[in-house]
Structure 1
Amino acid sequence: MAALGHSIRNSAIGLGLFAMITGGTIAVTQALTAHRIQQQVELAEARALFEIIPQSAHSNDLLADTLTLPAEPALGVQNPTTVWVARQNGAPAGLIVPMVAPDGYSGDIHLLVGIAPNGDILGVRITTHKETPGLGDKVELKKSDWVLDFNGHSLRSLPAEQWTVTKDGGEFDQFTGATITPRAVTHTVKRALEYTRRNQGLIQRTWQQTPAGEQV
């Protein structure tokens, strides 16, 4: 019996050590992977910024020139949001607003919406999503040019009811076999326009300031 008890104790200790080592390895792997994933997200975001407002269209440091807008829960913006400010020789050139569509088919869809000083859309880019390959992922520019249909539109150019997909009576096409994803993106682009319009006073005051190093 003593030998059996000793064997059980040894097995328990061994299993405990194995669980600790395995758990520690998983935790370290997750931490390293999360860091790499975040780096990739940031790189994709930076590339998208310069696709929306290219270097030739601004003279300031777009990555450093930012403005924090307040939360607007009614517009689906739950926390203060940092937007990028573009200037061309001191004059306003545009804003890039990060938004999240919470109602994608497979979860959150992260996107950037570029908005000109007059309220027109300069461009929209999807930065991260988990939508279905071959269907919902067509919101990515590398998969289709659908996202370019937003360019030039504004809250002036379309009535509120048209800011949805054609299946719902709106302006923007859905994809064959996929409606939820483009609908979610379209609604979120509209919210970005409404969000900046609601904060136009703060935006205008920021544009009137000249950050250090900016040309005038």
Structure 2
Amino acid sequence: MNKLPSIRPPIEALWYQGASLGAIALTASAALAFAHQATGPAIAEAAARDTAASLSQVLPQGFADNNLLADAIDLPVDGASPLKVYRARRADTVQGVVFAVEAKGYGGTIQIMMGVDREGRVLGARVTRHTETPGLGDKIEIAKNPWIGDFAGKSLGSPPVARWAVKKDGGDFDQFAGATITPRAVVKAVRGGLELFANHRSAMLGEDKPTVAQQKELAP
């Protein structure tokens, strides 16, 4: 009986195929690394521009004269991830802060940037990301409805905390026809942001540490 011819590739072929695959993998890795290095700064710059734009929208014009992006702290909050807090200064004095809050809406998480002055009043609030229903829940966007502008000037005492709710729940804030869950979530998030500021006011404003003058007075 004739033997069937062997179909096993020679050792040289196996070595060549392995080397080729290794070279392809290295080339692909190098290309990805180069692309990351090339696009990384551009992506970071674009992200910084977006953040700066969000910060400017929640502060009155001329409220601060410093670069908020360069004047930020990471605030530990009850075991959660540190909260990025941007300090708005004028003449070297912190006049207010800006930070992000979020709440669960109808379509998912709603992210909001809000500014708060030294007295705990809302300077402004803007939704930066959401997945709410177009034509209904998306009225939380300032470009589509002025509703979110009503938070400016509000505080935990005005209105009273008990009335920080939509009118359907006995509060002072309007809801949207056919979409109550979305504005309810935003009101809850902004109220939570004011409570957060009240609980961490000294740290946010940088008043939890003695000033240079105070340090000199305390020095022996």
TM-score normalised according to structure 2 size: 0.71
What is aligned with 1:184? 185
Q: Find the counterpart in structure 2 of residue 171 from structure 1.
A: 172
The residue identity in structure 2 corresponding to 1:133 is P
Percentage identity across paired residues of the two chains: 40
In structure 1, give the amino acid aligned to 2:73: L
Partner of 1:81: 83
- The TM-score, its normalising length taken from structure 1, stands at 0.73
Whether the aligned pair in 1 keeps the contact of 2:72 and 2:84 (CA below 8 Å) is yes
Quickly say closer, same or farther: Cα 1:92–1:167, change in 2 above 3 A: same
Runs of 5+ in structure 1 lacking a partner?
3-23, 211-216
Alpha-carbon distance in 2 for matches of 1:200, 1:111: 19
Match in the other structure for 1:152? 153
Taking a change above 3 Å as real, the CA distance of residues 37 and 165 of structure 1, as seen in their structure-2 partners, is farther
* Structure 2 residue ranges without an equivalent (≥5): 5-27, 213-220
How many Å apart are 1:43 and its aligned residue?
4.0
Match for residue 92 of structure 2?
90
- Quote how far apart the aligned CAs of 1:164 are: 1.0
Q: Equivalent residue of 2:148, what SS?
A: helix
**Partner in structure 2 of residue 56 of structure 1:** 62
1:41–1:127 contact (8 Å) kept in structure 2: no
CA–CA distance in 2 between the matches of 1:186 and 1:79?
Answer: 22
> In angstroms, what is the RMSD of aligned CA positions?
3.2
CA distance in 1, matches of 2:51, 2:193: 17
Report the alpha carbon displacement of residue 198 of structure 1 after superposing the two structures with TM. 0.6
CA deviation digits over 1:39-98, x for unaligned, max 9?
76654432121122255211111111012222237xxxx321011100111122210011
Higher relative contact order (CA 8 A, sep 6+): 1
